[in-house]
Amino acid sequence: MALNVKILTIFPEIFPGFLGTSLTGRALKENIWNLEAVNIRDYAFDKHGSVDDTPCGGGAGMIMRPDVLGNAIEHNYKGGKIIYMSPKGQMLTQKKVHELSHEDNLTIICGRFEGIDERVLEEYNIEEISIGDYILTGGEQAAMIMLDAVVRLLPNVLGNAASTENESFENGLLEYPQYTRPIEWKNRKVPEILLSGHHENVAKWQKEKALQITKERRPDLLEKA
Ligand code: SAH
């Protein structure tokens, strides 16, 4: 069954953007997943399509109104998870990406301005997901990155199904260094062992290198494993 994605945004023209190219674009054409970007402004209650108002209690910027957003959700929700892209959310990990790739429907809310009214999150039992500890101008970019990671895991999207198995994060480790031809370049040689044709030794070397690089760069991953 295809993954059906609904995006609630005030900039629907951003989609599919880069998701329309390469592997994710082909998967979209082949209906392995579907994408509909809904304009939240179409669910506003005035003729200007107002979606935001000033923050209660004062402060800078504007907040997206709960009534308009709620109206957009109620007219478009078809079941499954509702996700709000948010720097306050749980950090996106490859584990979460796998989990999302097994869903049938995803409704994704993209914030703008200073974010959305808190009551919307409570009312619709919305899950908040962050793509990292930095602030973007909008949730659209975050949603596209999350979807890129999710869609490449859907069946028949990657040519070689095995190609995800040894990737960084899949086994709690960063990936070992990779090489291709030419065997010698600027006096740098591909490690001898990779040319030996000895699969067991190669696998052992790759495992060691993966461990070493993870220890050096991301000891936190080893602690978790
Ligand atoms: N004032 C908010 C940030 C608003 S940024 C705060 O301090 O938490 C505007 C919108 O961009 C947010 O509503 C959210 O949808 C999106 N966004 C910004 N940074 C993000 C991140 N790291 N991950 C996911 N979405 C993000």
Instruction: Tell me the sheet residues that pair with 185.
Output: 188
**Is the C-beta atom of 52 inside 6 A of ligand 1?**
no
What pLDDT, in 10s, does the model give residues 92-116? 999 999 999 999 999 999 999 999 9
Q: What pLDDT is recorded for position 161?
A: 63
Whether 80 and 108 have beta carbons less than 8 Å apart is answered as no
Whether 44 and 50 have beta carbons less than 8 Å apart is answered as yes
The minimum-distance atom of ligand 1 relative to the CA of 92 is 23
| pLDDT at residue 57 tops 90 | yes
Percent pLDDT > 90 in the chain is 93
- The whole model's pTM is what? 0.96
How high is the mean pLDDT of the chain? 96
**Is the C-beta atom of 131 inside 6 A of ligand 1?**
yes
Q: What pLDDT is recorded for position 162?
A: 63
3-state secondary structure of 124: coil
Q: What pLDDT is recorded for position 164?
A: 81
Q: What pLDDT is recorded for position 224?
A: 80
Q: What pLDDT is recorded for position 159?
A: 82
Tell how far the Cα of 99 is from the centroid of ligand 1, in angstroms. Answer: 22
Whether 115 and 63 have beta carbons less than 8 Å apart is answered as yes
Question: Whose C-alpha lies nearest to ligand 1, atom 16?
Answer: 139
Spatial neighbors of 113 by CB under 8 A, at least 6 apart, are: 52, 61, 62, 63, 64
Structure token pair of residue 178: 């990779």
What pLDDT, in 10s, does the model give residues 114-168? 999 999 999 999 999 999 999 999 999 999 999 999 999 999 999 876 678 888 9
Spatial neighbors of 46 by CB under 8 A, at least 6 apart, are: none
DSSP code at position 68:
H
3-state secondary structure of 111: coil
Percent pLDDT > 70 in the chain is 99
DSSP code at position 156:
T
